Structure 1
Amino acid sequence: MNATPLNMDRTREYRAWARRSLPWLLGLLLTGALAALLYSAGTASRDHDKALNEQRSSLEVIALVRQFDATSARAETTLARYVISMDVDTGRLFQSQLRAAASQLRRMAFVTRRSGWQQDNVEQLAQAFGRRSKTLNDVALRTTYDQKMAALSHFHAAGKAPEVARIAALLDTISDAEQQRLKERSLAVSLAGDRTERAGQTSRLLGLALLVSILFAIWIAQFALAERRAARRLAEDEGERADRLEAAVAQRTTELRDANERLKQEASEREAAESHLRQMHKMEAVGQLTGGIAHDFNNMLAVVVGGLELARRKLRLSPEEANRHIDNAIEGANRASALTRRLLAFARSEPLLPTMVDPDTLVSGMGDLIDRTIGDQIAVELRHRSGGWHVFVDQHQMENAILNLCVNARDAMDGRGTLTIETGQAVLGAGEVGECSAGDYATLTVRDNGCGMTPEIMARVFEPFFTTKPVGKGTGLGLSQIFGFVRQSQGEIRVESEVGRGTAIHIYLPRQTMVEAEGLRQSAAAPQEDTRHPPTRILVVEDDPRVLNQTLAAIAELGHLPLSCDHPSKVVRLLANHGDIGLIVSDVLMPDMTGPEMIRALPAAFRHIPVLFVTGYAGDISDAEAFGGHEVLRKPYTLAGLSRALSTALSEQRQSGTAAAAE
């Protein structure tokens, strides 16, 4: 009896507990469901955002590939224009475009830094572009120093270089890979959107469940309704944001289209302006060149003409004074010849004649010359610190470089101040100074306490024809000639300057070791073959009658028998009529055909006759293949120089005859 009421009480307590616990259980279940839904929605949203970001990254890489391809193509086009026009501004535009392409390549590497599957392609592209840039810069450098034909040849060869195809292939590989990745990421965006949509559908179903459960727990239903309102507001905000983004994209597209039209118009106007500017620069360069060089040449010609005229007047009454005037005329002619050599050395058309030089001895020997050149108001300090290190350079060009630097320092100090010339030693690492390789270098520093230079002037100090001096006071070739000489000598030049505090020019030249010096001394001390030759019948081919008469007289003075020929077309007939001709002396540039072309066209019966070419264009001398290995003599020449050249050419004939007899 007692057990029954107890069991009933327990049943009622259980049911009451169940009624009290049911809302909590439903709430926990619904809360868990809501948490799972929110987590799924958040994950879907993050995946969607991640997919969108990756999609944008792929689009950026594809855009960078196209920009890099276009920029590098424009750079090569600009280089072609620079090689043809040799315009300095076009060269700078090429360098700017090449740097822009390199910047785009670095941006591409940064964007793909987390894409392991793309990094190797980008690294290979960077290496190929680096090699391509070096090739193009070499073409530009040759163009800058007036090696137009060599630059055209290298540019033509560069167009067929394997790096071109390699870069194009790598760009296609990167672009195709990103296109494929873009498809995958677009699919990921679509899948993430589907997950978000499913999450929305689940949310609506859960809302229905909350409406049903409101019969059991009103607060749960209110919570569900609040969630639905929040989700709706979020969807509306996303929709509004998408609408704003679409409008912004449309506006930006319109702006880009307008900007593209403006760029096309500006490009057309710039091309016309560049054509006009090139003409202006060409005329300005010619004016500067003629203004300075003509002044120097006129001075030298005045010495030559005046000396010869005075010598003619004094020839009978005062032979000694006539000889002195002739010596002055010869000195003036030698100075004019030296000026042409400096100009040709600047243009890298004349080969250097290097010898072993001790910088300390060279500077000491120039002391008096420097004092006379810069005047008494400037104190000169010589500091010898090279410690016996030698360099292998053209001594004449080295002296000209030092003298030019001293003259520039004098002008910078306005004729008053202190000039310091210091030699020294330096041990450089690779690339520490300019393009110098690692090793020992002898240094030469010319320092003044003059007005100094601004950064803008320092940036242009080595440009040909650039000068801050008035017209007629300088050609703008001094430092350019020094730059060409130092580079030809495998050295480097560096400028330090500050406005109001002076300028220092540092020249670094490779040290010549004692072992190499001993080898050179032994070569110089080797016994020389006897170069004396009996009188020889020599055929002289020269189209200029004055030069022809002078050459005939000089050869006769040396004891040989000259025979004149004023046109290359007469050579074969003269050779056939004079079987005793033992040497042909020919000018290089003549009407209808050049000297080398004339020699190559000779019949086989006359090809054994030795040849001596004479030329006034020093650029010819460096092209040994064009002369077929024959001796070349440069105008103007002295009787001693002509005698040595004739002996060398006739010695070749004797050696050839000896070899033929031995066979």
Structure 2
Amino acid sequence: MADGEHQDYRFTRGRAVLRRALPLLLVALLTGSLGALLYTASNASRDHSQALDEQQRSFEIIALARGFEARTARAEVTLARYVISLDPDTGRLFQDQWRGAASQLRALAYATRGSGWQHGNVAALQYAFTARGKTLNEIGLRTTYDQKMAALARFHQAGKSQDLRRITALLDLVIKAENERLRERSLAVTLAGDRSEWVGKTSQLVGLAMLVCILFVAWFANMAYAERRNARRQAEAETERADRLEAAVRERTAQLSDAYERLKRESAERAAAEDGLRQMQKMDAVGQLTGGIAHDFNNMLAVVVGGLELAKRKLKLNPEEAARHLDNAMDGANRASALTRRLLAFARSEPLLPSAIDPDGLLRGMADLIDRTIGDQIIVSIAQEAAGWHIFVDQHQMENAVLNLCVNARDAMDGRGRLMLATGRVTLKAGEIGECQAGDYVTLSVTDDGCGMTPDVLARVFEPFFTTKPVGKGTGLGLSQIFGFVRQSAGEIRIESTPGEGSSVHIYLPRSARDAADVEAEAIAFARAPVEQPPMRILVVEDDPRVLNQTMAALAELGHLPIACDHPAKAARLLAHNGDIGLIISDVLMPDMTGPEMVKALPARFRHLPVLFVTGYAGDANDSADFEGHAVLRKPYTLSALGQALGQTLSAPLSGSRRPGTAEAAE
């Protein structure tokens, strides 16, 4: 074969090979291009889907945070309503709403479990929420156990507490961080869409051979656009929902502010209602005493009248026997005075005024009161084993607690049985009895042999308004008030009861640091106070002629020069005509004007004179604002008690800040 023919053959063969290989190359190129396009489209779809999922997760976290904020706001509003209304259903609603807020917070923590940048914020939010829950639960418990003023004060402080501001700040951090992450995820969605568009443009360049691929990419791009549009709509819906949530939070905040203002306006009314409720409990017990008190008082009056009549008969013939009858009459009068004073002191309403009390002496002083209350069919035994240990409590509240326990025991025994009252001493370890701290404690036990209580009843005895008595026989507030008083005095109360065998109530109260020697020293110092004073002119203002004559005679017996005034309107004129008057003794309740009103109406030049008010009404001695620091002497009083009160009045300088003293009649 010639060289030319050989070259032509190779050229022709090369062209044939090229023609055969070109379709393969084209197929390979198209296949590669299709694969590249498919791969690129697949990556773009995956990135877009992942970006949308992350975007959706951000919206869910923001919604959970807003929902948690709204639930906590509603729970606090419900707590405010509970403190105002004292409605147990409202208290349970608060608990349900607070648990719902806790569930919302757990859902938020679960939703952010994979978000490292949110872990610290959510953990701090859980801690602040727990602290806030303890504060609000404490307010609910104070309200449940009848400490409404303390609950209101605590609620007011909680509204300004650091944990509330911390919760709000942490929620803002969570939402702010998620919004920043949302912007990054929105950028990722945009980039994925741009990549899809690039795939579409590349598919157009491939031509008709890549028509199927172009259509597929176009369809995929359309789907991606639709999803992005749906995502945008969802984002707008979430934004609108967030705006509504913020409006709801603002509305709830405004309602809470209005409720707080109403709380401040109604605080005085609630305080008066609570005092009235406690006073009703006292008066219920006082009502049970009237029969026995009338019997005892008539007996004492019989001793007084009989002694005076016998003394009158024996005065000339047998002076010694007449003096003995006069002593008996004085003893009967003193006993009647003490009985009346104990009853009025028990019945009057006054704030908690703790002092060092001898528990053995307290039971001895209440023996007659308890006998008259529970009746003669119950045998009362008293075991006094405190042995000089004192307690630091309010005496009237303590007497009220003991009397309520005795009345409950009487009802449990159906008016017949044995009642044991006992005091004792015990040293406790920390936490041995309830929340008692380690130290010395005085125990006071009331034990009966009545019907006892079942475990179900025993578990609820301290609940307010819970009672097993028939309608109209009890309010269910006695034991709950005793529980609150004992806890307020840093003590504990325990009840042991067996159905059919009786019950024992044990009260543990901390031993007072002031022992019997300190109390006795104070009593001796008071007894040694000077009684005698130099003679002086005293204006006596009294509307009752008999009392006026008796007071004039008593002052004359003490060596003073009294001037009688039978009406408070005459006091200013008598003071003007007798410039040497150095003291005013005035009754409190008189016609036309009271003693304090008379003193306030005196001309300014007489306001420097010391004043001693005399009253037989138990509630008068508590009106410190009316007495303006002047001393008060209770009727009836003895000659020595009058002299003692005069000495204290003359020795104490008058000042606007001085608290009124109360001079009790000597026994």
**What TM-score do the two structures reach when normalised by structure 1?**
0.63
- Equivalent position SS for 2:609: coil
How many Å separate the matches in 1 of 2:101 and 2:192? 42
Match of 1:405 in 2: 405
Match of 1:348 in 2: 350
Q: Over the residues paired in the alignment, what is the CA RMSD in angstroms? A: 6.6
Superposed displacement of residue 612, structure 1: 1.6
Query: Residue 538 of structure 1 aligns to which amino acid in structure 2?
Result: I
Match of 1:660 in 2: none
Superposed displacement of residue 341, structure 1: 0.9
- Pairing of 1:100-115 with structure 2 (within 5 A): 114=118
How many Å separate the matches in 1 of 2:483 and 2:470? 19
2:463 matches 1:459: yes
Superposed displacement of residue 645, structure 1: 1.6
Match of 1:53 in 2: 60
2:562 matches 1:562: yes
Match of 1:40 in 2: 47
Match of 1:297 in 2: 290
Going from structure 1 to structure 2, the CA distance change for 1:637 and 1:575 (only over 3 Å counts) comes to same
- Equivalent position SS for 2:532: coil
The answer on whether the counterparts of 1:615 and 1:633 sit within 8 Å (CA) in structure 2 is yes
Going from structure 1 to structure 2, the CA distance change for 1:593 and 1:128 (only over 3 Å counts) comes to farther
Tell me the alpha carbon deviations over residues 484-518 of structure 1, each in whole angstroms, 9 at most, x when there is no partner: 87578x3435354668375443323222347x666
- Pairing of 1:514-525 with structure 2 (within 5 A): 523=522
Query: Residue 32 of structure 1 aligns to which amino acid in structure 2?
Result: Y
- Equivalent position SS for 1:354: strand
Superposed displacement of residue 29, structure 1: 1.9
- Equivalent position SS for 1:512: coil
**Seq. identity, %:** 32
Going from structure 1 to structure 2, the CA distance change for 1:313 and 1:136 (only over 3 Å counts) comes to same
Match of 1:577 in 2: 577
The answer on whether the counterparts of 2:282 and 2:400 sit within 8 Å (CA) in structure 1 is no
Going from structure 1 to structure 2, the CA distance change for 1:539 and 1:457 (only over 3 Å counts) comes to same
Moved more, 530-539 or 8-17: 8-17
Superposed displacement of residue 53, structure 1: 1.8
Superposed displacement of residue 583, structure 1: 2.4
Query: Residue 308 of structure 1 aligns to which amino acid in structure 2?
Result: L
The answer on whether the counterparts of 1:129 and 1:167 sit within 8 Å (CA) in structure 2 is no
Superposed displacement of residue 554, structure 1: 4.8
Unaligned runs of 5+ in 2: 110-117, 253-258, 260-272, 315-321, 655-667
Going from structure 1 to structure 2, the CA distance change for 1:74 and 1:178 (only over 3 Å counts) comes to same
**What TM-score do the two structures reach when normalised by structure 2?**
0.63
Going from structure 1 to structure 2, the CA distance change for 1:290 and 1:631 (only over 3 Å counts) comes to closer
Query: Residue 48 of structure 1 aligns to which amino acid in structure 2?
Result: Q
Moved more, 364-373 or 291-300: 364-373
Superposed displacement of residue 539, structure 1: 2.0
Superposed displacement of residue 36, structure 1: 1.8
The answer on whether the counterparts of 1:308 and 1:326 sit within 8 Å (CA) in structure 2 is no
Match of 2:340 in 1: 336
How many Å separate the matches in 2 of 1:97 and 1:364? 48
Tell me the alpha carbon deviations over residues 569-600 of structure 1, each in whole angstroms, 9 at most, x when there is no partner: 32222222234433222234556655445445
Superposed displacement of residue 336, structure 1: 3.0
Tell me the alpha carbon deviations over residues 329-385 of structure 1, each in whole angstroms, 9 at most, x when there is no partner: 6534532321221123xx335856634x376x877999999899787887969695x
- Pairing of 1:470-481 with structure 2 (within 5 A): none
Match of 2:647 in 1: 647
Query: Residue 297 of structure 2 aligns to which amino acid in structure 1?
Result: V
Tell me the alpha carbon deviations over residues 455-501 of structure 1, each in whole angstroms, 9 at most, x when there is no partner: 5553127x9xx893786x8898865885687578x343535466837
The answer on whether the counterparts of 2:537 and 2:563 sit within 8 Å (CA) in structure 1 is yes
Unaligned runs of 5+ in 1: 79-88, 145-150, 261-266, 268-279, 655-663
How many Å separate the matches in 2 of 1:579 and 1:350? 43
The answer on whether the counterparts of 2:193 and 2:225 sit within 8 Å (CA) in structure 1 is no
- Pairing of 1:442-521 with structure 2 (within 5 A): 442-448=442-448, 450-452=451-453, 453=457, 457-460=461-464, 468=469, 486=486, 490-496=489-495, 500=499, 503-513=503-513
The answer on whether the counterparts of 1:538 and 1:581 sit within 8 Å (CA) in structure 2 is yes
Query: Residue 425 of structure 1 aligns to which amino acid in structure 2?
Result: V
Match of 1:82 in 2: none
How many Å separate the matches in 2 of 1:478 and 1:234? 71
Query: Residue 458 of structure 1 aligns to which amino acid in structure 2?
Result: F
The answer on whether the counterparts of 2:541 and 2:564 sit within 8 Å (CA) in structure 1 is yes
Figure out how many residues of one structure are paired with residues of the other and give that number. 593
The answer on whether the counterparts of 2:44 and 2:193 sit within 8 Å (CA) in structure 1 is no
Tell me the alpha carbon deviations over residues 518-548 of structure 1, each in whole angstroms, 9 at most, x when there is no partner: 6555555559343223554332223455654
The answer on whether the counterparts of 2:589 and 2:615 sit within 8 Å (CA) in structure 1 is yes
Tell me the alpha carbon deviations over residues 261-305 of structure 1, each in whole angstroms, 9 at most, x when there is no partner: xxxxxx9xxxxxxxxxxxx99999999877753452354235434
How many Å separate the matches in 2 of 1:93 and 1:528? 59
How many Å separate the matches in 2 of 1:603 and 1:520? 43
Superposed displacement of residue 45, structure 1: 0.7
- Equivalent position SS for 1:348: coil
The answer on whether the counterparts of 2:584 and 2:612 sit within 8 Å (CA) in structure 1 is yes
How many Å separate the matches in 2 of 1:592 and 1:120? 69
Query: Residue 290 of structure 2 aligns to which amino acid in structure 1?
Result: F
How many Å separate the matches in 1 of 2:143 and 2:131? 19
- Equivalent position SS for 1:445: strand
